[in-house]
Structure 1
């Protein structure tokens, strides 16, 4: 069994593999590199076999999405620690060691993320994770270095190692035992916010989620679904409500959901006023479809009695609009 396996989920991403896979191999000495392929049709698997024959390949029979793809692919990977890495990420020399050292030092840590910077603008944080993820009292996710859609310049302001609420699915190390014991990603989510749900479940079981900014990677972002995609909007809203339903006590979910109906419909209205009808529809369908499949969600009520740390008790949207567009170190 390997100590560390870097596992890259791929779906029709040969262009990203050509650009970044060699970099991952070169910078991940001592770790195995595995590509889990979600039934690509662009020649990805054949390209890996030809150009990187030492990279292990797990080929799935269909596209199971981010959640299902990793769940099924990791069944074939034997390692003490997994590093789940998007195919559109450039890593840096020594990126594994700071995470591995911290993981080895504290058995309560279940997952760790590196600092995520933008591949296109190297001195700015990248949207998907920045320097550690959090949520506010209504369940809206945000990061140190990213608030709403605005990413800050990295000036070293978030270089402290600290506990966070969620680690980005773009790049994070997780104990294999914790991943499998928790049930892995919820496959109903398919893609988007399944990593937040997983981290929340781990934290309810007394585990820690950390960020180690001394490990640095650069993320392209929106490699599968563009940022301005109605499909992405739909999945984000549907899955976010599902995550709250799974992880909050029922009374608290009822209160939060009533507030969310109002705030989400205001968001939909803003799309309507700018003639972005498909995005307004995506928000409505996200709420509708949550109610359609909610009975399939496993709530784990025995762990859902209290809110846990690293949750901002106010509204991050209101903070952004009325107080300060930058997150700073003042809220948490």
Structure 2
């Protein structure tokens, strides 16, 4: 069996990390090393963890590197051939890791596998962040089996089949260290949010596949580090989605899809203004401004994509990218569940 490293980026909040570690040590770990990346926490959570747990490896960053940088930092210190990235506000079932490993074994084309992710506070419902496997439409709007925009389904076993997906959730997934290093890890320009979608888009372009194995189950609190109501979260989601759209397609598709996407961004901004969500509206405006003043980052990312690309955009659109608008499906056609798409 391949060696395994579990990497947990952490910024403040002792209780959620304590609960995560307690559930990990009650599960089947297969000799995995556990690495906690202390992302420059300002509280005493790490001190308390060191006092209570003797096994985790604690490494500290000089500044808060975000999810992307924290995970990359942990990966550099990891000894495992398989890397598991796990949020600090998760808890796991006993066989969660066993099931992920089984899917990876003898399947060299599989880059990553994610578990079924349920809400920690309401374990009969899927979690917002990844549910039972992630997808993306051609305009770079993400959704998942079990969650489209703010509609979250109950888990009634409807998505319990193992399925090829577009992206595995950064809440928790396993990947091969060799592929992670080959593709440059997470893009730290993203800081947090959608870095796992970017990584798995690169995996898809490079000819690898990504799967969800719902026999593996974890529970996610969500918003443990950054609240779902945070305008900064809105900013990161919109900015990073636009950055992926402008970087990961060929030039023609970038222009074609961006025109419609910018129109939808304007509508979304006006909707927030009409709802008196002024901070969120300005967050979307700021995300567009960031894109405008950072063309060098887009150019650099496009060069990286060109080097790793083994599949065309059209191959992915025909195969795994949702070749429709999820916005239109959800808001106009009222298809609020994955099964209805």
| CA shift digits 1:22-54 (9 cap, x unpaired) | 111221432221111111121122112110011
The reply on whether 1:310 has 2:320 as its aligned counterpart is: yes
Deviation at 1:256, TM superposition (A): 1.1
Judge which range, 276-285 or 304-313, deviates more.
304-313
What displacement does 1:220 show? 0.5
Gaps of 5+ in 1: none
What is the aligned counterpart of 2:329 among 302, 305, 319? Answer: 319
| Residue matched to 2:306 | 301
In structure 2, the partner of 1:4 is: 4
Q: TM-score, normalised by structure 1?
A: 0.96
Two-structure CA RMSD over aligned residues (Å): 1.5
The residue aligned with 1:82 is 83
TM (norm. structure 2) is: 0.94
Whether 1:205 aligns to 2:206 is yes
Corresponding residue of 2:242: 241
Residue 288 of structure 1 and its aligned partner are, at CA, apart by 1.2
Match of 2:123 in 1: 122
DSSP-derived class of the 1:189 partner: coil
Q: Is the 8 A contact 2:205 2:312 kept in 1?
A: no
**1:260-317, CA deviations, whole angstroms, 9 ceiling, x for partnerless residues?**
1111111100111121111111111101101222312421224274241321111111
Q: Quote the residue 1:188 is aligned against.
A: 189
Contact 2:151 2:337 in 1 (8 A): no
Bigger mean CA offset, 174-183 vs 301-310: 301-310
Report what 2:229 is aligned to. 228
- Alignment partners' CA distance in 2, 1:20 and 1:102: 23
- 1:162 CA displacement: 1.2
Corresponding residue number in structure 2 for 1:26? 26
Contact 1:25 1:33 in 2 (8 A): no
Q: Which moved more, 1:197-206 or 1:17-26?
A: 17-26
Deviations 1:201-249 (A, max 9, x none): 0110001110000000110011111111110001111100111122101
Query: What secondary structure does 2:313 align onto?
Result: coil
- Unmatched runs of 5 consecutive residues or more in structure 2: none
Preserved contact between residue 13 and residue 87 of structure 1 (Cα < 8 Å): no
Matched with 1:283 is 284
Quick one: distance in 2 between partners of 1:138 and 1:159?
Answer: 27
Would you say the 8 A contact 1:2–1:32 is kept in 2?
Answer: no
User: Aligned equivalents of 1:306 and 1:137: distance in 2?
Assistant: 10
2-structure distance, mates of 1:151, 1:131: 11
* Match status 1:178 vs 2:166: no
CA distance in 2, matches of 1:234, 1:166: 21
Structure 2 Cα separation of the partners of residues 4 and 28 of structure 1? 12
Cα distance in 2 between the residues matched to 1:182 and 1:73: 16
Q: Between 269-278 and 109-118, report the one with greater CA deviation.
A: 269-278
Residue 92 of structure 1: aligned partner: 93
Aligned residues: 331
Partners of 2:320 and 2:146 lie apart in 1 by 15
User: Deviations along 1:113-150, whole A, 9 cap, x unmatched?
Assistant: 00000011111000000000001121100000001111
**CA offsets 1:140-174 (integer angstroms, 9 cap, x no match):** 00000001111000111111111100000000001
